[in-house]
Amino acid sequence: MDIVYLKALLLYPALSLAASLLLNKMFKWQLSLLFSVGGLALTLFVLCQCLFGGLPSTVVFNIPWIESLGITFKLGVDGINLILILLTNLSVPLIILSSKDHSFAENNYFHSLVYLMQIGLLGVFTALDGFLFYVFWEVALIPIYFICAIWGGENKLAVTFKFFIYTVVGSLFMLLGIIYLYLQTPGAHSFDIEAFKAVALDRPTQIWLFWAFFIAFAIKMPIFPFHTWQPDTYTTAPAQGTMLLSGIMLKMGIFGVIRWILPLFPLAIAKYADVIILLSIIGVIYGAIIAIMQKDMKSLIAYSSISHVGLICAGLFTNTIQGIQGSVIQMLSHGINVIGMFFIIDIIENRTKTRQIEELGGIANSAPKLAVLFVVIMLGSVALPLTNGFVGEFLLLTSLFLYKPLFAAFAGLSVILGAVYMLRMYKNVMLGETNATTASFKDLNTTEFIGLVFIALLVIGLGVYPQPLLTLASSEALSLLK
């Protein structure tokens, strides 16, 4: 793989951001979509080069930044973070496409915020310097705060402020851990993550560092009981903000576990893995049960995300090849599926002015295209075999079964409960007789149809042939287990 392509891949969002700011009012959603599709095309090109020309584990940038403190601008690409780069650059065009019928689609500042968040996310996924990781972690928070606070729904400022405080406080614990590790590096101190791996840490030190990092990551995911900010934020944020939060941003926390906790704190993991897995499984069941009770479609998907992320976290802490592979595959699959679900909910809300399940019904009678695509994406979410959701979920449940069969038995309830709340929502919203709210419902327009067909093809394609993703994740997963 030519390093030039990797550099272009990581710098491309900065070009998009500069264009959105410099072109000002000329930068409307069509131009923004064109730039984001260009980034996706470059990502797919790099992905193909890596699959056919050798897996990457490459330092792309290594530029001295604050030399007196041992801080470098060091970014790298490997098999795991390449999948998350794909998720990020795949999600952005879909999010921009879905904004077409909103007032902020013509606002270049909205697109600038999306691109700034893309920069922060890619920085988190590729940073190989601890200080740089923290900087990008905080950079990704700024644009989503403004997207939610400016274009959110009722009580948006209070809800967004709660989300901001939760995340910032969690991040401070992580910062303390990073500074401590920096001070333990031998000789001239360094923030390089590889230097952190070389530090010999006794068990008590690993334990407090483990919790310092885990709290920050658990809030970002979020898992039970660190989830209380999530349902209100997802419901209040504009659909595009919710897509960013659920589709990509929560993966920062899961990736943080892979990048930091698994390689640095093995003694702490051995002590607390059962506790974390138990909390995660409680979240799996709790999120699914609360989702069944929801009357608002957006709230239902918000709680379902708690359930899905709980399963990912549980599998990850089994510290097995199946758990790590499954978590990486499921991060991509969940991101695709949840963006599709929020896209569909946004379409329904735009036409009916409601998200209340009991006020809807019979939409399939007048919108057969939407009905079919809704089914495909929904089945991906409930992990039907030959859909993308099945691959990661099967690996995660396998990892739990190999670790402790009892954990797998309880976590497996997510399959049953997920089918209950998803099929119930679909039945009440799409089937039956139309009412005054849905009688004049119009089927998908061309833009919406293209976006949802693309998502549906990913749901089926990645479910039928997941091998390229498994190949990308396997080598890095094995290195984590050494």
Q: Are 318 and 403 in contact (CB under 8 A)?
A: yes
State yes or no: pLDDT of 229 exceeds 80.
no
Structure tokens at 205: 């030190």
Q: How far apart are alpha carbons 19 and 7 in whole angstroms?
A: 18
For the segment 430-445, the average pLDDT, to the nearest whole number, is: 84
C-alpha 378: how far from chain center:
18
Q: How far apart are alpha carbons 19 and 177 in whole angstroms?
A: 37
Q: How far apart are alpha carbons 447 and 449 in whole angstroms?
A: 5
Q: Are 459 and 388 in contact (CB under 8 A)?
A: yes
Only one residue has tokens 């998009």, namely 16
Q: Are 130 and 193 in contact (CB under 8 A)?
A: yes
Question: Which pLDDT score is estimated for 213?
Answer: 93
State yes or no: pLDDT of 7 exceeds 80.
yes
Percent of the chain having pLDDT more than 70?
Answer: 97
Structure tokens at 99: 């904004």
Give tens-digit pLDDT for 340-359: 999 999 999 888 888 888 88
For the segment 289-316, the average pLDDT, to the nearest whole number, is: 89
Question: Which pLDDT score is estimated for 478?
Answer: 61
Q: How far apart are alpha carbons 378 and 149 in whole angstroms?
A: 29
For the segment 121-129, the average pLDDT, to the nearest whole number, is: 92
Q: In sequence order, what are the residues at sequence separation of 6 or more whose Cβ sits closer than 8 angstroms to the Cβ of residue 122?
A: 10, 13, 85, 88, 136
State yes or no: pLDDT of 94 exceeds 90.
yes
Structure tokens at 147: 């997207």
| Residue 94: C-alpha distances to residues 213, 263, 307, 423 (Å) | 32, 34, 24, 24
C-alpha 339: how far from chain center:
10
State yes or no: pLDDT of 179 exceeds 80.
yes
State yes or no: pLDDT of 450 exceeds 70.
yes
Closest residue by Cα to residue 364 from 386, 344, 336, 334: 344
State yes or no: pLDDT of 30 exceeds 80.
yes
For residue 479, name the pLDDT band (cuts at 50, 70, 90).
low
Structure tokens at 280: 């995660």
Of the given ranges (28-37, 56-65, 78-87, 304-313), which has the lowest mean pLDDT? 56-65
Question: CB 407: neighbour CB atoms within 10 A?
Answer: 21
Give tens-digit pLDDT for 141-172: 889 888 888 887 777 788 888 888 888 888 89
For residue 426, name the pLDDT band (cuts at 50, 70, 90).
very high
Q: How far apart are alpha carbons 324 and 258 in whole angstroms?
A: 8
Structure tokens at 33: 């979509």
Q: Please, how many CA atoms are within 13 Å of residue 124, restricted to the half-sphere of its CB? A: 28
State yes or no: pLDDT of 295 exceeds 60.
yes
State yes or no: pLDDT of 178 exceeds 90.
yes
Question: Which pLDDT score is estimated for 250?
Answer: 87
For residue 222, name the pLDDT band (cuts at 50, 70, 90).
confident
Question: Which pLDDT score is estimated for 477?
Answer: 65
Give CA angle at 347 (139, 449), nearest 5°.
95
Question: Which pLDDT score is estimated for 180?
Answer: 92
Report the largest interatomic distance among the alpha carbons of the chain, rounded to a whole angstrom: 73
pTM of the model: 0.92
| Average pLDDT in the chain | 87
217-247 in b/e burial notation, b at 16+ Cβ within 10 A?
A: bbbbbbbbebbebbbbbbbbbbbbbbbbbbb
Beta bridge partners of 67: none
Give tens-digit pLDDT for 370-413: 999 999 999 999 888 999 989 989 999 999 999 989 999 998 88
Structure tokens at 9: 């891949």
| Residue 79: C-alpha distances to residues 11, 251, 301, 325, 472 (Å) | 19, 16, 29, 11, 4
Of the given ranges (199-208, 297-306, 431-440), which has the lowest mean pLDDT? 431-440
Q: Are 325 and 377 in contact (CB under 8 A)?
A: no
| Residue 120: C-alpha distances to residues 114, 124, 144, 194, 303 (Å) | 10, 6, 11, 21, 25
As to burial, measured by CB atoms within 10 angstroms (0-12 exposed, 13-18 middle, 19+ buried), residue 103 is exposed
